[in-house]
Structure 1
Amino acid sequence: MAKGDELVKYITERVVDYVETPREVRKERVKYREPWVNRWFGLIPFSISLWAERIPRKGKKKL
């Protein structure tokens, strides 16, 4: 039964911490998020996209 008590204690600590933080701080924390591709796969997709931008494509006009 100790695991159940620990779980309840952990959840209540998290809820109290969430309630006690000001709304502005919570919004700032959520405001900036990395793109989901970087969060899931790291910098590999980012580096591939940078590399792909440098490759010239047919029919694409430069500004």
Structure 2
Amino acid sequence: MSTNDYVKFVTQQFVRYIDKPKEERKQQRRQRKEERDSFVQRWFGVIPFAVMMWYRKKKE
């Protein structure tokens, strides 16, 4: 991909984003944030997450 093609692509994506209503953009951001895995699971995987849940359950 040449530099010109890349600039054209980025410009198109930016214009699409700006053309959307503000509420729709906020809703999309909230939805992406909700779908994302938790910090521990994203960075360290399932095992530390399971240990953390086991520890919390044992503590109660």
Unmatched 5+ residue regions in structure 2? none
Unmatched 5+ residue regions in structure 1? 57-61
Select which of 30, 37, 42 maps to 1:39: 42
Moved over 4 A (4+): none
Determine the C-alpha separation between the residues in 1 that align with 2:18 and 2:54: 44
Determine the C-alpha separation between the residues in 1 that align with 2:44 and 2:15: 33
**TM-score scaled by structure 1?**
0.60
Aligned residues: 56
Cα-Cα RMSD: 2.3
Larger Rg over CA atoms:
1
